[in-house]
Amino acid sequence: MPDAPEYLTQEKYSELVKELQTLKTVRRKEVAESLEYAKSLGDLSENAEYQEAREMQANIEDRIKKLEAMLLSAVIVKMHHSEVVGVGSTVSLMKEGASEKVTYKIVGSEEADLSQYKLSLNSPLGQALLSKRKGEHLTAKTPVGNVNYTIVDIE
């Protein structure tokens, strides 16, 4: 079964391609050198530097595999204006009982960062927002219970 698509902006896609290149060239070489140095220290069974280098190597290889899979299934989204909420939309919401609206950009899970108001389409609120229109009311099922919102604007 193929991986689900990973929605990325062009900027994030480029950033991940650059990270992958760095991991495959610079970081792999650094870890190989660390392993060689650690091996030169002798007994590998009690060699903390060797164990640390092996762990670092495993982490780098895991990240490379994850990035390769993500980039293979990537769908580049363009920020767009639309009548309905979708990936790439910027949505202004009013939470029930709140006095100020909050604005989120709907992004793929790799780009999600609430501190920058980038909301994952896979989050409870992101899922509740998809395909909704300006003025619609929605309920997001969150870990703390249901939260009601009204869509104020979509860009």
The domain that holds 120 is classified in CATH as 3.10.50.30
Angstrom distances, CA of residue 103 to CA of 68, 79, 90, 154: 32, 15, 7, 9
Tokens of 129: 């927002």
Element (H or E) spanning 8, and its range? strand 6-8
Q: Helix or strand or coil: residue 105?
A: strand
pLDDT at residue 77, rounded to an integer: 83
**pLDDT under 70 in the chain at which residues?**
1-3, 79-81
Angstrom distances, CA of residue 122 to CA of 34, 67, 144: 39, 19, 17
Angstrom distances, CA of residue 46 to CA of 4, 34, 39, 42, 56: 42, 16, 11, 9, 17
Domain count, the chain: 2
- Using the 3D structure, point to which of 76, 103, 127 is the last residue of a domain: 76
- In Å, how far from its chain's centre is CA 76? 13
pLDDT at residue 150, rounded to an integer: 93
Any residues with CB less than 8 A from the CB of 112 and at least 6 apart, and which?
118, 119, 120, 123
Where would I find the H helices in the chain?
10-22, 28-40, 48-72, 124-129
The domain that holds 46 is classified in CATH as 1.10.287.180
Domain containing 129: what range? Answer: 90-154
Asked if residue 149 and residue 100 are part of one domain, the reply reads yes
Asked if residue 94 and residue 68 are part of one domain, the reply reads no
Tokens of 108: 């793929």
Asked if residue 65 and residue 21 are part of one domain, the reply reads yes
| Cα pseudo-dihedral 8, 123, 90, 98, rounded to 10 | -160
Does residue 40 form part of some domain? yes
Asked if residue 94 and residue 57 are part of one domain, the reply reads no
CB 22 within 8 A of CB 122: no
pLDDT at residue 80, rounded to an integer: 63
